[in-house]
Amino acid sequence: MPPYVLDFACVEALLAVEVDSGQHGGAADARRDAALSTAGWLVLRYWNNAVLQNVEGVVADICRHVRERLG
């Protein structure tokens, strides 16, 4: 969704997936998430470590949200 670049997105479900490291989580991310939410997007954020240490759990969580959003 312009002007933002998402790490991953399921456009059909309006679902954004962001993989964060230590530099994330500030006011800029909050404004960005709010703008995406206003436009109907759900933003899921996962820490790098969670993805690296539990990729199956992260994928399962993303899939659950996609199923919920698509009905």
Instruction: Kindly state the DSSP code that residue 25 receives in the 8-state scheme.
Output: S
State the pLDDT at residue 21. 80
> How many other C-beta atoms lie within 10 A of the C-beta of residue 45?
15
**Residue 71 in this model has a pLDDT that exceeds 70:** yes
Q: Give the mean pLDDT of 48-69.
A: 96
Its pTM stands at 0.86
**Residue 45 in this model has a pLDDT that exceeds 90:** yes
State the pLDDT at residue 13. 97
Q: What is the pLDDT of residues 9-28, one digit of tens each?
A: 999 999 999 998 866 667 88
Q: 1, 34 in Cβ contact below 8 A?
A: no
